[in-house]
A and B are shown apart, each in its own frame.
Chain A
Amino acid sequence: MRRSSLFVAIIAICAAAPCFAGGQNESRGDVPSSAVAATATPAVQPEAVAALEKMSAHLRSLKSFGLHADTTIDLVTQDDQKLQFPGTIDYKVRTPDGLYIAMKTDRKEREVWYDGKTLTIYGPRNKLYAQTPAPPTIAALLGLAEDKYGIELPLADLFLWGTPKAPVSSLRSAAYVGPARINGSVTDQYAFRQDGVDWQIWIEAGDKPLPRRMVLTTTDDPTQPQFSSTLTWNTSAAVRDADFAFAPPKDAHRIELVAADVAAAKEASP
């Protein structure tokens, strides 16, 4: 873990100011080449793509799971200063129509409940919840949440890899970095680049190629803020219907969930 973190730091530095020997002689105008140097290798290494596809197939094969993520996210001030906020996200998933997400930081808590019929957003501390009819699958739910309500669920990739929503043709660069340990497990670290985002992933070695850590660097922001998550899986988690059906506490109040464009329109007409 320590070693891999250091390595990440090195890569980050090199990405900002090429420090590998080969980097300095390259034209800066080149199409994105891997920040991991290795200038002789193709930008998209087949082995890296294959590892991603293998992991994706494994994810799609999971019928149910529990997942805990320890996360950090950078927010950027108007003065381009990055501030980092740690948090946790817990998931319970049962394909194709059960999803529960609990997000928690010191400042905000939210729960998302989905049982194949209804989407609920709930604030355990503000005791406010909103509900809306939902489509019959998690995949469709994610699309609705993003398109209609402007909600991009964190780590939505877990549900998108291995589907047409995450085509490998989007990869501008794909590289194998090397072996690494995440919480004691042997993993392989890979680095990818797509439009707007550089991302790294640590995939568990062996017959359960699960993502164990991810770092996303948002590259279409000049400050390049990052989101990192270290994932702890429970692929044998018992899930029940009750895990996905929201039952409002007695002191909770229901409020409206407004569509994103509705909210904007209201703001636009004082």
Chain B
Amino acid sequence: MKPHATRRHAAKRHAVHPQAGKHWRNPLYIGAGIGLLAGAIALLAVTSDAQAAPRARGGARTSVNHASAGGGAAHAAAANRGAHATTNREVNRNTNVNRNTNVNRNTNVNVHNDIDIDVDDHWHNGWYDDHPVATAAAVTTAVAVTAAAIGSVVNSVPPSCVTTVVNGVPYQQCGSTWYQPQYAGTSVQYVVVNPPN
């Protein structure tokens, strides 16, 4: 993984298209599509550098108007969009790119998931919807599993994980590392937690 490359991309996007991020909300529907992208990546991984695979960075909005408190007349002014929570999240996401990359490396999570992480949480869910484990493409780029920091959030878990239900919570257990799923918007994330008792 080349975190610097990722950061450069992000910075460039911002420099060239300062407005581009503002519609990166979380359209419920958008994440549905990414699975096909993952399929394409899986194919590419066979013959080419996986990191050259296309990465999704955004998508079409799915509603003209906004239901948010800043919607309506206020929405007509672009400045007002900046006032509501979505923009704050975007800022976080964009600054999290490298941190998330580190998470991936530390936890053996498929680098392809960077597709998802450095864009928006509505991207990544599609291709591990049925199973939280990264696809075969992930295995090709996997490195040694090391301990993940408690509280880390990842978008998929290593292939070696098994679903273990404890007190009704469907953890993903990967050796000594336990992940607890949660919905962020409509996307599932996995939080590294202490082993349940």
Mark A residues whose CB is within 8 Å of B.
71, 73-79, 81, 83, 85, 87, 89, 101, 103-110, 112, 121, 123, 125-128, 130, 139, 142-143, 145-157, 159-161, 163-167, 169-170, 192, 194-197, 199, 216-218, 220-222, 225-227, 253-258, 260-261, 263-270
Residues of chain B within 8 A (CB-CB) of A256 are: 182-183
- Secondary structure call for the A interface: mixed
Residues of chain B within 8 A (CB-CB) of A79 are: 54-55
Q: Which of B35, B64, B92, B183 contacts A157 (CB 8 A)?
A: B64
Asked whether, in the complex, the Cβ of A125 is within 8 Å of the Cβ of B33, the reply is no
**Cα A87 to Cα B62 with chains together (Å):** 13
Q: How many residue pairs bridge A and B at CB < 8 Å?
A: 296
Residues of chain A within 8 A (CB-CB) of B182 are: 130, 255-258, 263
**Cα A123 to Cα B181 with chains together (Å):** 12
Query: A226: shortest Cβ distance to chain B, in Å?
Result: 5
Query: A263: shortest Cβ distance to chain B, in Å?
Result: 4
Chain B interface category by residue count: 35 or more
Asked whether, in the complex, the Cβ of B186 is within 8 Å of the Cβ of A121, the reply is yes
**Cα A256 to Cα B22 with chains together (Å):** 26
Smallest CB gap from B100: residue in A: A267
Mark B residues whose CB is within 8 Å of A.
9, 13, 16-17, 19-20, 22-23, 25-38, 54-73, 75-76, 78, 84-86, 88-89, 92-93, 95-96, 99-100, 102-103, 121, 123, 125-127, 129-132, 149, 151-153, 165, 168-170, 180-186, 188-189, 191
Residues of chain B within 8 A (CB-CB) of A267 are: 92-93, 96, 99-100, 153
Asked whether, in the complex, the Cβ of A164 is within 8 Å of the Cβ of B72, the reply is yes
